[in-house]
Structure 1
Amino acid sequence: MVPASLSSGDLLADRRAAYAKLLSGDGLFAEAAELMEQALELAPGWRAGWFQLGEYREKAGNRDGAVEAYARVAQGGGEDIFGANLKLAVLGAADMPARPESAYAESLFDDYADRFEEALTGKLGYDLPALLAERIAAHGGGRQHFSLVADIGCGTGLAGPEVRPLAERLEGFDISANMLARAREKGVYDHLGRADLSLSVEESGLFAAGLPRRRADLVLAADVMIYLGDLDAVFALAAELVKPNGFFAFSVETAEEGYVLQPSLRYAHSEAHVGGLFARHGFERRLFERVTLRMDRGKPVFGFVFIAERTG
């Protein structure tokens, strides 16, 4: 959803958009779309408004109209903070991106930070961090203690309290400043920093401020891969971050083959896709398990949990 703070700059257009939101809350998506069209006549350059129109049209079953609106966003210039290109791919109007634009992920989680934990743990039955901590204790080469754990894509730090008992030093990294602020409030991380896991080793931020390579005994990525698409870049980062004979523990949503972009705008990955990346980046699999990651609209979301050891 578009953050409410993204105003059109036109009071009347904003008012009509607010009425449209009320209609959409009652399930009247075609009527909401009509009001948004009126708003956009007053503010035709309003990218957030075009994206919202696309969502209303999509929910009303007007696929072609949604494509038109999302295309206006994608072609409007600037970074795609809304995920319009992802929407076009899901609707079959564009090729699937290998990964979302970094600006989209940053904007999404900056906006989501204040309600992130309540949504996951309170509404979606999310307990993946605890599950991963248990599996690491059982399948981490017999280790019950790691000198340095790096939680990449740490978000608000949900995994921090779970893995803190295993770690002498705990580092957390995320693309969102607002997420990092929430993680900092927990007081369990020794270091928190901004990092973009879709970038190269040099540009990612994982090795900024003199932080050395191959320093971690354990790299953790809980519910992170779903926002990355092609995982080659994050595997390259993990291979540079973890020590030889260190461990990489993470989860993915389940795909039959390769990786796919889902209507949720999250990516799913197959066991074979991940297995190929292990071989390419010098990891050997130590655990593969099918799990329920969370609930979504009352239905389980299935995924895979992996633990791999860095060789050589």
Structure 2
Amino acid sequence: MNPHQLSSGDLIADRRAEYAQMLAASGDHAEAADLMRQALELAPDWAAGWFRLAEHEEKSGEREAAAASLARVLDLNPDDIFGARLKRAVLGADDVPGQAPSAYVARLFDDYADRFDAALVERLDYTVPGRLAEMVESFTNGATLERAIDLGCGTGLFGAEIRPHVGMLEGYDLSSNMLAKAAEKHLYDHLGEADLSKPLAASGLIAHDYPEGRADLAAAADVLMYLGDLVAVFAIVPHLLKAGGLFAFSVEDAEAAPVNSSADGFLLRPSLRYAHSEAYVRGLCETAGLEVLDVARATIRKDGAQDVAGILFLSRKSL
């Protein structure tokens, strides 16, 4: 959810916030912050307004004030649909959380769904789905796999790449709008909501007709950067795979990513996405009984004008 799209419910406060946004667009962030504070005097319980104020304060160099405004956002919105806790960590005001809030990720991609394909493929040179599919096809010599599970399937970009090589394709995502876009492509035999940050039984990935140990392939293309601590993911995936099943996934490369905050094995970038080290991922694979078959470093997309470095992995569950 874009915080700039949310109304305070007070017409004058909204008008002042609009003027503040115009000032920010012209580069006058300090004046934008002052005008936003005036708006919040009229609407003091406006969580989106406090988030806007924090943005203006940060860009005007008022980092401590921005952190305080973000704390107010969290008071008003404990589910944290704005990612305020992540922003506070980037500012150095909080420890790096183990993951992005599920509500934040779901709302982010609900808002992004309509323009997702055009933004990533046409403007940001997004390459992960094709590269992961090539890694899988190279290992299997193009053989058809019986069943694949696309974790964080989004609009179906990886699904389109792997569909010709699988008999049954499942897709799961946190965002209902993303799932609706994926359904329009008629790639998947089953689509459902799922949360990789939860234990397997509560994740949405297991049901009567979809038991454990069913997949020849699980994939997570450009998904794990919203989950800093990947222990839960690597506890789930082996339960989805048959013996010898493959897990193909990507991470942003911590060794190549400038960051403001860090934790063991993963880093939180200013983009509010996580980057992971190869050593951290290899350790999780070993603990989960996944043999690493292939690793490739590549530019996986752009972030504005900057290239984003990533690491692509292909692993296999023990036979």
TM-score range, shorter chain: over 0.9
Is the CA contact (8 Å cut-off) linking 1:2 and 1:51 kept in structure 2? no
- Alignment partners' CA distance in 2, 1:119 and 1:192: 23
Aligned-pair identity in percent equals 54
Q: In the alignment, what sits opposite 2:122?
A: 122
- Alignment partners' CA distance in 2, 1:182 and 1:25: 31
Q: Which amino acid aligns with 2:178?
A: M
1:299 to 297, 303, 306: 306
- Alignment partners' CA distance in 2, 1:104 and 1:270: 24
- Alignment partners' CA distance in 1, 2:289 and 2:65: 47
Is the CA contact (8 Å cut-off) linking 1:3 and 1:111 kept in structure 2? no
Is the CA contact (8 Å cut-off) linking 2:47 and 2:77 kept in structure 1? no
Is the CA contact (8 Å cut-off) linking 1:87 and 1:265 kept in structure 2? yes
Helix, strand or coil: the match of 1:286? strand
Q: In the alignment, what sits opposite 2:96?
A: 96
Q: Which amino acid aligns with 1:214?
A: G
- TM-score (structure 1 length as normaliser): 0.96
Q: In the alignment, what sits opposite 2:200?
A: 201
- Alignment partners' CA distance in 2, 1:104 and 1:291: 28
Q: Which amino acid aligns with 1:73?
A: V
Helix, strand or coil: the match of 1:7? coil
- Cα deviation for residue 133 of structure 1 reads 0.9
Is the CA contact (8 Å cut-off) linking 2:3 and 2:82 kept in structure 1? no
- Cα deviation for residue 297 of structure 1 reads 2.4
1:153 equivalent to 2:152? Answer yes
1:263 equivalent to 2:270? Answer yes
For residues 205-237 of structure 1, the C-alpha deviation after alignment (integer angstroms, 9 at most, x for no partner) is 011353111111000100000001101111111
Q: What value does the CA root-mean-square deviation take over the aligned residues?
A: 1.4
Helix, strand or coil: the match of 2:213? coil
Structure 1 residue runs of 5 or longer lacking an equivalent are none
- Cα deviation for residue 159 of structure 1 reads 1.1
Matched residues, number: 311
- Alignment partners' CA distance in 2, 1:179 and 1:258: 29
- Alignment partners' CA distance in 2, 1:309 and 1:53: 47
- TM-score (structure 2 length as normaliser): 0.94
- Alignment partners' CA distance in 1, 2:218 and 2:226: 17
For residues 6-61 of structure 1, the C-alpha deviation after alignment (integer angstroms, 9 at most, x for no partner) is 21111111111112222222222222212211110100010110011101111122
Change in Cα spacing, 1:34 to 1:209, as seen in structure 2 (3 Å) is farther
Is the CA contact (8 Å cut-off) linking 1:8 and 1:49 kept in structure 2? yes
- Cα deviation for residue 95 of structure 1 reads 0.7
The runs of at least 4 aligned residues of structure 1 exceeding 6 Å deviation read none
For residues 256-282 of structure 1, the C-alpha deviation after alignment (integer angstroms, 9 at most, x for no partner) is 361011111000000110011011111
For residues 56-75 of structure 1, the C-alpha deviation after alignment (integer angstroms, 9 at most, x for no partner) is 11112211121111111122
Is the CA contact (8 Å cut-off) linking 2:90 and 2:268 kept in structure 1? yes
1:233 equivalent to 2:240? Answer no
- Alignment partners' CA distance in 2, 1:243 and 1:109: 30
